[in-house]
Amino acid sequence: MKNVTKKEKIKENDKPLYPYLIFLLIVIMLMFLAFYFWTALNSSHIPPLKYISQKDDTKDELVEEGFEQYKNYSVDFQFIYPETWVLVEGHNSVIVSSDKEYPKSYIEAENPEMKDSDIYIQIHFSNLPVDISREIPNYTKASWSKLTIAGVPAKKITYAGTDKFAEYIPNFLLGDFYFLISVDSMDSNETLIAGYNKLIDSFGAVERNSGQE
């Protein structure tokens, strides 16, 4: 039997380390990429809105009587709505309704029920497109149509049941944000729908004065 010298034993145990180093480097890179994408996804949400008064003293002179004007300088959009309706700001959303209790309850996640005699409008915005697949109601009739809102092309989905009206305007890009507007009127009240149409017609970017940044 051949005697193995001490030097030969050391040589046999002296295996190269670079495969282990490469494996360790790959693991570190994967961890870094996972952290990067996690950070990107969680930073995609814009921060909560700054408080902006609903009854702004700078309401434009052209706003007709019987309407209020909402201006959001954080996200840069505005619209008018009937003065008898209620508006409440949420995180990345504005809720407007003729039901005076609904907007606050909705923002506070109390899951309030819609009343047949009222109209419910939600305006959501994000710097990423909004997924509406779970929001679309299963009404008996639905139609797609094109429109221009705030000067930009958009599409709307209109649903009409026997006594319901619902409309969705998804993912139109105004400035740096994607918007989704939805409306529900349980009994298709024509007066309330006319108020909603006024809101849509007036929707646009805020016209800033020289002192507003």
Query: What fold characterizes domain 67-202?
Result: Jelly Rolls (2.60.120)
The helix (H) or strand (E) run that includes residue 107 is helix 102-107
119 — pLDDT class (breaks 50, 70, 90): very high
The pLDDT assigned to 157 comes to 87
188 — pLDDT class (breaks 50, 70, 90): confident
CA distance 77 to 174: 8
Q: Write out pLDDT tens, residues 135-166.
A: 555 555 678 899 999 889 999 988 766 678 88
Q: Write out pLDDT tens, residues 109-118.
A: 877 888 888 9
7 — pLDDT class (breaks 50, 70, 90): low
List 185's β-bridge partners, or say none: 119, 165
CA distance 57 to 59: 6
The pLDDT assigned to 152 comes to 92
3 — pLDDT class (breaks 50, 70, 90): low
Closest Cα partner for 116 from 199, 196, 189? 189
Q: Write out pLDDT tens, residues 69-106.
A: 999 988 899 999 999 999 999 888 999 999 999 998 88
SS3 letters across 145-186:
EEEEECCEEEEEEEEECCCCEEEEEEEEEECCEEEEEEEEEC
The pLDDT assigned to 209 comes to 58
